[in-house]
Chains A and B, each alone.
Chain A
Amino acid sequence: MSDGKVTLAAGGRRAGIRGKMPIFATAGPVSFWMMIFVLLPLIYVFVISFMTRTQYGGIEYSLTLDNYKEMFDPLYLKVIWKSLKLAFFTTVICLVVGYPLAYWIASKPSKLAAKLLMLVMIPYWTSSLVRLFSINLLVMPNGLLNAFLMKLHIISEPLDILYSDGVVMLGLLVAMLPFSVLPLYSSIEKMDKSLIEASKDLGANSVTTFRKVTIPQTMPGIVGCTLLVFIPSLGMYYVPEMLGGGKVMLVGTLIKNQFLVTKNWPFGASLAILLILITLAMMWLYTRIGKLDDLEVC
């Protein structure tokens, strides 16, 4: 009797481990990876953001809120404000430029549409740095753009637009545009086209139909696009560095400098936490409108 029980128990336990084997083998590695390389480091960033920097760039483990207070220095507030402003305008322009293009692509037969989307993506397989440098060459005082405009007698002397906010935004736009077209395309393509016809049959004109039917129907794409453009724009440090010279400082560069130049980890970490909070706020907004799985990132 007792023997039977023991074997049964042992068998039960073995079945338990064997039953869990497939879970360990499949979900195990990814869980491990995410915990070690994503969650743990982010928790560490959070902890460090409350620590004190020592004189020589080390970290002293004593709690402080100074790093967050430092953000309210007018100098840094200006940087944060400018980053938010540039990211906002980049996002708006990406939406305004990308939406009609996505709509146009979605109106084509699916095979052609796939090719047209490919055509949007091809430039992004070249180094983004080389492309940005091309923009740099284009807008330089003796660059192609100025030569062209002067030949047409639109301007009489070269525009000095290199190293301005406008050019940084142009760079962000070039870097971000395809990522706005993709989510917009997929939501426009999924939209039920008969709704537009129904709206027109019911007497609405094109503008009303667009405002009342098309936009609400493609909202997930619009918010997805906002998410995929606004957040990366905040952290893109090489765009302002290349096109803004030393003149345009954005929060991405500020964070990078805390780690690679001035060695002030705690302050850099607190800025990173600020970016994470902005991201979370936008994600929250997104989940109110669409599902995370719908986020067409690919």
Chain B
Amino acid sequence: MAEKKQLSKRLRRKRLGRRLSNVYAILVYAFIYIPIAIMILFSFNSQKHNYYFEHFTTEWYVKLFTQSDLWGYLVNSLIVAIVATAISIVIGVLGAMGLKRFEFKLKQVINNSLYIPIVIPEVVLGISLLMLFEIAHFPLGLGAMILAHATFCIPFVVIIMRGRMAGMDMSIEEASQDLGANRITTFFRITLPLLVPGIMSSAFMSFTLSIDDVIISNFVSGPYSTTLPIKILSMVKVGLKPDVNAMTTVMVAVLVLGLLLNSVVQALWKKRASTNIKTYF
């Protein structure tokens, strides 16, 4: 009896602990999401300078889709992010293969240098690239931003891809070559399809890093071509108008919808796949 009582006490304590940890987690999530909530709230603010909440309006969303110069900056951001991601994927995937498979003189140096853009403070990378472009007389602007963004994205791609390749069965590549395919055919028909999931997640990573970059872009953007974050940085000093909030809200909404759609499609696909298997039995 006493034993039973003690057991239930322990159980109760365990349950209490679990409940407390749930509350804690909810609080941390709330902390993370408060700025987003305020951002969305203030996108419906009728007050133009956005310093206090006046009353509810949707005029900023209307303005955003009818007359707004923000889209131009978003297009610049997208161009930079897409091109930088493409460059990083090509160079990063090839590089991960090369660094994994072959031995060459500078391998250790290159391997270590990959960690530099990841760990050094971004401001250091930013000024070093600014200096490089200035001494090379390379014009600052979208082109310079693409090169800069690719520089900090490539290491992430290489590291993600190397991790994926470590878990891959390389013998099927050998099988392909034994069956008479040359290296290039093997790469496109065997290796690349196997790497697609890794490529997707590293592309996602590069794109995310690039689209929100402020620190490095600020050094190499030059006076004329500006991405959305740099434009926002210049506006922040005088206060953000609600249309910026509206734009960011729309972007988050698109992203969350995309994620939901993705999981729904995956769930449906899995269901279909599982029913397919069932029909076999």
Q: DSSP majority for the A interface? A: helix
Shortest CB distance B75–A (Å): 16
When the two chains form their complex, are residues A255 and B116 in contact, meaning their CB atoms are under 8 A apart?
no
B29 at interface, CB cutoff 8 A: yes
CA distance A144 to B120 in the complex (A): 36
Task: Say which residue of B21, B36, B98 sits within 8 Å of A26 (CB atoms).
Answer: B98
A11 at interface, CB cutoff 8 A: no
A204 at interface, CB cutoff 8 A: no
CA distance A134 to B239 in the complex (A): 11
Shortest CB distance A27–B (Å): 3
When the two chains form their complex, are residues A104 and B24 in contact, meaning their CB atoms are under 8 A apart?
yes
- Identify the interface centre among B117, B208, B215, B259: most chain A CB within 10 Å of its CB: B215
A220 at interface, CB cutoff 8 A: no
When the two chains form their complex, are residues A28 and B151 in contact, meaning their CB atoms are under 8 A apart?
no
Q: Which of A34-42, A61-69, A153-161 has 4 or more CB atoms under 8 Å from chain B?
A: A34-42
CA distance A133 to B39 in the complex (A): 8
B-facing mask of A134-163, CB < 8 A → 1, else 0? 110110101110000000000000000000
Shortest CB distance A18–B (Å): 11
B121 at interface, CB cutoff 8 A: yes
When the two chains form their complex, are residues B33 and A123 in contact, meaning their CB atoms are under 8 A apart?
yes
- Identify the interface centre among A34, A135, A292: most chain B CB within 10 Å of its CB: A34
A-B contact count (CB 8 A): 251
CA distance A172 to B61 in the complex (A): 30
When the two chains form their complex, are residues A97 and B28 in contact, meaning their CB atoms are under 8 A apart?
yes
A134-B38 contact given A23-B102, A33-B150, A125-B208, CB 8 Å threshold: yes
CA distance A255 to B183 in the complex (A): 48
CB-contacts of A76-104 with B (<8 A)? 97, 100-101, 104
- Identify the interface centre among A105, A122, A137, A143: most chain B CB within 10 Å of its CB: A137
CB-contacts of A246-298 with B (<8 A)? 252, 255-256, 259-260, 265, 268-269, 272, 275-276, 279, 282-283, 292-293, 295, 297-298
When the two chains form their complex, are residues A128 and B214 in contact, meaning their CB atoms are under 8 A apart?
yes
Shortest CB distance A174–B (Å): 6
When the two chains form their complex, are residues A23 and B151 in contact, meaning their CB atoms are under 8 A apart?
no
A45-B127 contact given A129-B214, A231-B119, CB 8 Å threshold: yes
Shortest CB distance A243–B (Å): 11
CA distance A48 to B94 in the complex (A): 34
A144-B38 contact given A120-B32, A231-B120, A255-B127, CB 8 Å threshold: yes
Q: Which of A2-10, A209-217, A234-242 has 4 or more CB atoms under 8 Å from chain B?
A: A234-242
B264 at interface, CB cutoff 8 A: no
When the two chains form their complex, are residues B121 and A297 in contact, meaning their CB atoms are under 8 A apart?
no
Chain A residues with Cβ below 8 Å from B35 are 123, 131-132, 134-135, 138, 174
When the two chains form their complex, are residues A272 and B25 in contact, meaning their CB atoms are under 8 A apart?
no
Shortest CB distance A26–B (Å): 3
CA distance A131 to B117 in the complex (A): 25
Chain A residues with Cβ below 8 Å from B32 are 120, 123, 174, 177-178
A134-B214 contact given A29-B91, A174-B35, CB 8 Å threshold: no
B2 at interface, CB cutoff 8 A: no
B118 at interface, CB cutoff 8 A: yes
Chain B residues with Cβ below 8 Å from A259 are 127, 130, 219
When the two chains form their complex, are residues B97 and A26 in contact, meaning their CB atoms are under 8 A apart?
yes
A interface vs B, CB < 8 Å?
Answer: 22-23, 25-31, 33-42, 44-45, 48, 97, 100-101, 104-105, 118-120, 122-135, 137-138, 140, 142-144, 174, 177-178, 227, 231-232, 234-238, 242, 252, 255-256, 259-260, 265, 268-269, 272, 275-276, 279, 282-283, 292-293, 295, 297-298
4 smallest CB-CB distances across A and B, nearest first, come from A235-B121, A30-B95, A27-B98, A26-B98
Q: List 19 A-B contacts (CB under 8 A).
A: A26-B99, A26-B102, A37-B132, A38-B117, A44-B128, A100-B25, A104-B22, A120-B29, A126-B36, A126-B39, A127-B229, A129-B232, A131-B36, A137-B38, A236-B122, A238-B215, A256-B219, A260-B219, A297-B118
